[in-house]
Chain A
Amino acid sequence: MRKKQVISNAVLYLFLIAVLIGTMFPLLYTVLASFKSNAEILTNPGSMLPKNPTVNNYVQAWTSDSFHVPTLLRNSVIYTLVNMFTTLLISSMAGYVFARGHFKFKKLIFYCFTALMFIKTGGITIYATFKVLSAVHLDRSLFALMVVHLFSIPIVNIYLIKGNVETIPTAIDEAAKIDGCSFVGVFFKIILPMLKPILATVAILAFNSSWNDYLMPNIFTLTAPGQRTLIVGLMALKSSGESAASWNLMLAGASIAMLPVLVAFAFCNKYFVKGIAAGAVKG
């Protein structure tokens, strides 16, 4: 019986480790290949380790004109930080209001917001968005996209925060209200400080989605290449004519773009997990 247990455990571990290798392989390959010369990437793809490791690709990416990483990085950082901040602000206020507020159309508004999850219009509505933007005299730019993002509805995050506010006993609010705190005051002074862990989760999810965003930033920076984010710049290089000649640059760029996300995951993986798991169980 005991022997059987050991064998079945060994098989189990072998299975898990095999999957682990398969999962990590493409990421490892990318990072290692980013230290190869372009010729080696094209002619000798079979070996994982670079023959003559070089940081030349990174130097080139840092200084090249067509794929100027410092500018792209700057744009990515601005775009991500602003979106993170607005997501935190909007979703924490909305989560609190939907959990605690009493007003006429609360249920209706909440249902409307939720229904958006099931409406996929396939991109054509971007033209309507452009119309709205030109009505308020905003040109297509990364800034305009951040404004659009501010007004979009972070429904999953609202759910996360609403669920968390609901676990806080209402007695706490009432005590504060007796002490003269207003509805808004309760939010900023009492509730918000208690939401720190879930706010960390929302922040990390918002960081990840903005940093990785491709379609929308691409649409909004078509006429302003100087405002491209790192991901958009990478994809522009990929679809350009010099694509085959630039695998070294692209893989170096991809490694740079993955780095912040991987570092964030390494340090905050419990917040990631919490957000994901809560999302599933609550539906």
Chain B
Amino acid sequence: MVTEKNLAASTVAIKKKKFIGSEAFWCYLMIAIPVIGFVVLHVYPIFWTFKWSFFSYYGVESTAKFIVLDNFKTFFTQDFTYWKAWGNTLIFALIKMPVEITFAMLLALALNKKMKGAGMFRAMYFLPNIISVAIVGLILSNMFSYNGIINNLFVKSGLLNENIDWFADKWHAFAMIIIGSVWSTFGVNVMYLLAALATVPEELYESAEIDGASKMRRFFSITLPLIAPVFQTILLLSLIGSLSVNEYIIVLTNGGPHGQTNTVMSYLYTKFVPGFADSANPQLGYGCAMSLVTTIIVACIAIFYNKFSNKMKNLY
């Protein structure tokens, strides 16, 4: 900081230049577009959302009514579908994350052994990640359809007695959603974990082996503590990703059957966003109130997670 100030001061002193044409001027100019975008497309919409959350607002300002906290009251006390969507989001995150991270960890540990073809495996596992979520939904809904290939394979192999309708009840739909979701994103976690494992020095394992530490012991006492910081980030990314899962749900089940697989974000989309909303003229004020609370909850979970995982790190 001090050197920065000195530098700035001396530049001013020596060149006696005006602001226009100075380095700072060019800096501001080079980031002008994102800064304008930040104000216009992020800050303004947040204030906009805040303002209308106190109104009954159907998109026409002249008919908007100021109703103080009624929007919040309604959805805290009466609108259980929103809170059920939160329940679904947590179910999704709490099942998907452990399954996916454990699975990715096993694969990363296997691939980390410098075996032949490791690069090829890693690349292939990553493939579903780069495919459009919309297409993933399309493919899965074909494969899981009543006469689809999944039912066909399961019946043929004896895992199922007869075809099941994966889209007809909540738990079958959830099973499908989680299987598909793990399929489409585990590869990125394999990559993250491999990048983390590459930072652990080989010598540590060698000396531990000489000391007679078992494989399990080596994993929990060497690998895990050493990759803890990266692991923490991986979990945070996975958490945020799972909590804000949206597009994937919309294209695969569209929240069905009867909104039972809606997550919070897909619920908001299917209620209020044009092209996805079931009603042509939603009460936007209500949507603003919901979005506001949702944003705060997601941010709080992220902050809480950060605090909590820092404590965990200190424990190690």
Contact = CB atoms under 8 A, between A and B. Distances in A.
Contact of A214 (B122, B130, B134, B299): B134
Most-contacted residue by chain B among A26, A46, A122, A148 (CB, 10 A): A122
Contact of B41 (A20, A29, A152, A272): A152
A104 B28 CA distance: 10
B99 to A, nearest CB: 13
Most chain-B CB neighbours within 10 Å: which of A46, A182, A222?
A46
Interface string A108-121: 01001100111111
A132 interface: yes
B187 to A, nearest CB: 7
Nearest to A20: B124
Given A16-B110, A277-B191, A231 B132 contact: yes
Interface in B203-247: 229-230, 233-234, 236-237, 240, 243-244, 246-247
B275 interface: yes
Interface string B37-62: 11011101110110000000001000
Contacts, number: 271
Contacts of A150: 33, 37
Contact of B34 (A43, A90, A126, A208): A90
A118 to B, nearest CB: 5
Contacts of B258: none
Contacts of B175: none
A72 interface: no
Interface string A131-158: 1100000000000000010111100000
B298 A124 contact: no
B91 interface: no
- Indicate the member of A30, A127, A208, A273 with the most B CB atoms within 10 Å: A127
B27 A234 contact: no
Contacts of B237: 280
B138 A234 contact: yes
A138 to B, nearest CB: 12
A276 B295 contact: no
A19 B190 CA distance: 12
Given A125-B49, A277-B192, A280-B195, A120 B265 contact: yes
B132 A251 contact: no
Interface stretch (A52-60, A63-71, A192-200, A261-269): A261-269
B290 interface: yes
Contacts of A251: 142
B196 A280 contact: yes
Interface in A81-136: 90, 93-94, 96-98, 101-104, 106, 109, 112-113, 116-129, 131-132
Contact of B127 (A12, A23, A182): A23
Given A101-B27, A261-B130, A121 B49 contact: yes
B128 A27 contact: yes
Given A26-B140, A261-B130, A121 B30 contact: no
A15 B190 CA distance: 15
A113 B128 CA distance: 29
A124 B276 CA distance: 12
B284 A127 contact: yes
Contacts of A90: 33-34
B134 A231 contact: yes
A120 B187 contact: no
A148 B132 CA distance: 21
Interface residues of B, number: 98
B95 interface: no
A257 B135 contact: yes
B23 interface: yes
A46 B145 CA distance: 12
A29 B147 CA distance: 15
Give the most central of B36, B127, B152: most A CB within 10 Å: B127
A115 B157 CA distance: 50
B107 A124 contact: no
B125 A214 contact: no
Contacts of A102: 4, 7-8, 23-24, 27
Contact of A153 (B37, B44, B106, B131): B37
B93 interface: no
B272 interface: yes
A258 to B, nearest CB: 6
Interface string A13-34: 1011001101110110110010
Given A27-B139, A116-B42, A127-B48, 18 more contacts: A22-B183, A29-B149, A94-B30, A102-B27, A103-B24, A121-B46, A124-B290, A129-B41, A148-B41, A151-B36, A152-B34, A183-B26, A214-B132, A247-B142, A257-B135, A261-B131, A273-B122, A277-B192
Nearest 8 pairs of A and B residues by beta carbon? A151-B37, A212-B132, A128-B45, A125-B45, A122-B268, A101-B27, A103-B24, A280-B192
24 contacts: A20-B125, A24-B124, A30-B142, A93-B31, A101-B23, A102-B8, A113-B34, A120-B244, A124-B268, A124-B273, A124-B284, A128-B48, A129-B45, A132-B40, A151-B34, A215-B246, A215-B276, A231-B132, A250-B142, A258-B131, A265-B123, A277-B195, A281-B196, A283-B230
